[in-house]
């Protein structure tokens, strides 16, 4: 009987340590993911600022285009494509913000979750981070592309206006 108690106590202690180690492992993974989440949030904020600036630049350029006589229909078409791209980017940014808010909420609720749920949430968070980082890379490339295209369009518009001014003189 005494051997049974010792064996039971030993098994219980081993199980308790194993659970504690697993919880510590989950907590360590969450802390690592939270640091990654903070870094992603910094990039997200930078992208939001660039996106907002690009939207403002786009609106100003559209006003400039609409106020003059425009003989180049490709410019209007290109600007319409940019409008669609900006709206799509806005939706991606908002979706990523929501995911990141969910990650912040998870940190608060994590200790109360069962083990299987903790593991599932950590996996989902890693997958979300991968997707957000891909989205951020895509957004940065699209914003740079639009900046370049806006510069070229402005140059073309300026050249076109100069040519029209010299032909009407």
The SS3 call for residue 70 is coil
**C-alpha of 73 from chain center:** 34
Element (H, E) at 39: helix 2-67
pLDDT of amino acid 40: 93
| Residue 93 covered by a domain | yes
Element (H, E) at 112: none
- Whether 108 contacts 15, CB under 8 Å: no
| Residue 6 covered by a domain | no
pLDDT of amino acid 1: 56
Phi, psi dihedral angles at 71 (to 5 degrees): -100, -5
What's the Rg (C-alpha) of the chain? Answer: 28
Which residue range forms the structural domain that includes residue 138? 29-162
| Residue 17 covered by a domain | no
Nearest-angstrom CA–CA distance, 133 and 135: 5
| Residue 138 covered by a domain | yes
| Residue 168 covered by a domain | no
Give me the mean pLDDT over the 137-155 stretch.
93
Residue 159 has pLDDT above 90, yes or no: no
What is the per-residue pLDDT across 57-101, written as a single tens digit (0 to 9) for each?
A: 999 988 888 876 666 678 888 889 999 999 999 999 999 999 999
Nearest-angstrom CA–CA distance, 138 and 121: 25
Indicate the burial class of 108 (C-beta count within 10 angstroms; 0-12, 13-18, 19 or more). exposed
| Residue 41 covered by a domain | yes
| Residue 7 covered by a domain | no
pTM of the predicted structure, to 2 decimals: 0.79
pLDDT of amino acid 25: 82
pLDDT of amino acid 69: 63
The DSSP output letter for 69 is: -
Top-ranked range on mean pLDDT: pick from 37-51, 57-71, 154-168: 37-51
| Residue 5 covered by a domain | no
The count of structural domains within the chain is: 1
- What mean pLDDT, rounded, does the chain reach? 84
Exposure of 69 in the CB half-sphere (CA atoms within 13 A): 6
């Amino acid at each position: 009987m005494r051997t049974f108690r010792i064996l039971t106590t030993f098994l219980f202690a081993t199980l308790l340590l194993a659970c504690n180690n697993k919880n510590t492992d989950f907590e360590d993974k969450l802390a690592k993911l939270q640091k990654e989440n903070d870094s992603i949030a910094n990039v997200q904020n930078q992208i939001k600022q660039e996106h907002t600036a690009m939207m403002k630049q786009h609106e100003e350029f559209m006003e400039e285009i609409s106020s003059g006589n425009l003989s180049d229909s490709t410019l209007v078409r290109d600007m319409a494509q940019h409008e669609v791209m900006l709206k799509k980017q806005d939706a991606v940014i908002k979706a990523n913000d929501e995911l990141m808010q969910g990650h912040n909420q998870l940190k608060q609720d994590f200790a109360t979750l069962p083990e299987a749920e903790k593991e599932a949430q950590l996996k989902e968070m890693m997958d979300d981070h991968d997707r957000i980082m891909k989205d951020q890379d895509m957004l940065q490339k699209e914003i740079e592309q639009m900046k370049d295209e806006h510069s070229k369009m402005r140059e073309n518009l300026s050249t076109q206006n100069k040519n029209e001014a010299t032909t009407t003189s």
